[in-house]
Amino acid sequence: MTEGPLPRHDHYIAGSRHAPNRGDYFESVNPTTGRACYYAARGDAVDADAAVRAAHAAFHDPAWRDVTQTKRGALLRRLAELIAEHGEDLARTETLDNGKLLTEMRAQLASLPEYFHYYAGLADKIHGETIPGSHRDILNYTLREPLGVVVAITPWNSPLLLTATKLAPALASGNTVVVKPSEHTSASLLQLAPLFAEAGFPPGVVNVVTGHGDEAGRALVEHPLVAKVSFTGSSETGSAIAGSCGLRFVGTTLELGGKSPNIVFADADIDNASVGIVAGVFAAAGQTCVAGSRVFAQRPVYDEIVEQVRTRAQAIRLGDPLDPTTQLGPLATAGQRSRVEKYVALGVAEGARVVTGGGRASVDGLDGFFFEPTVFVDADNGMRVCQEEIFGPVVAIMPFDTEDELLALANDTGFGLAAGVWTRDLARAHRVVSRLDAGTVWVNTYRSTSPMSPRSGFKNSGMGIEQGTHVIGEYTRLKSVWINTGEGPADDPFVLRA
């Protein structure tokens, strides 16, 4: 049987499909099979300009500008309902695109409507306040206003979920948005895009441009009509975006890399801790910013933790992510697998020892980018494999003795995204949490999330807030208004009135 031609996906701009300016498309590969599965439009500066101008026009169009906050909430609720209706198809698209388990993608898509429902409810709670002054004839109040055009640049590991964390609050605040997904995972965003029109959003409020970061992405970031950039990805790219935006005083929200510590004290439930370690680093094949890739186990339980994690890692079932029995799918790209291979070799060269895994994995009938769950011991926190983000199924387990020693080791990294603590001692938990340099800390759990809970990164792990009510400040500007309610002029026009 001869396979038909691969589908071609165009940009989504101003409510309709748009072919790329140069007519170029790039290939996207299914990481499970290693074969091309579709072509996506290769956007350039002209495509980026068209999308931004469409968003800018929509922002000023009364069809969006004059929509009440309550009506914005209703549109978001309708969108949430449509996402729920299309959840299975969207989940399968993401699995085929990035190799994550279908069971995990189904769970993500089941939670996705919650983000839009949450911000739908928040839409008409965005308001200013009145401020008392020294003079009763002066009224001072504040306004919370949308910024304008927001550019959202999203990664390949959880395209729809991480887009929702940006889109939902941006739209609830009244902005318009241009999304640039990773060139490795364009399909699900393009599949989602028409649902905005179906939900009732005016054309141009949400646009999707696909392409490479150095072409479409850079053009979007540098566009003079862009008021805000929200980016999730590597610290290196985030730094470049922050530098570019800083030159033009454009705001940024950056969720960047991590090298998160997962800490086990001797009094912890060791079985639960070992399960949490395995889930914290091997879920999504380690391709998550919050992966607990540095494990610190207190010396009395160090050997037991190593043995349990090694045994559990060896038992992980690799396979087709569409198979419900699979526990670990492929890495998202061939380049990502090569990167993980290089880091494993580097760890061995630095003196660490592999107790399980360490190489490519073979899966019957599949020629995808599989890699074995890998556990390092005899590692030192100063090694590159303990300091640099690998973004793969690789963990290093290191011992510690005292709480102060642990805190010094855990915080000895350029990152500060997340951390995990396993202990039965509640006083210790609070004490350690307060001293960890991490935007999110889990105690006796790992990778829990909710649209209601704010997320941020310290140090090289980013800047700004995502999720929760605090994120509204990222997508609005605060205006202070002063009104003289008296009948006469000011007492002295050359003296400021406090």
Task: List the catalytic residues.
Answer: 255, 289
- Token pair for residue 291? 């992966």
Distance, CA of 191 to CA of 95 (rounded, Å): 14
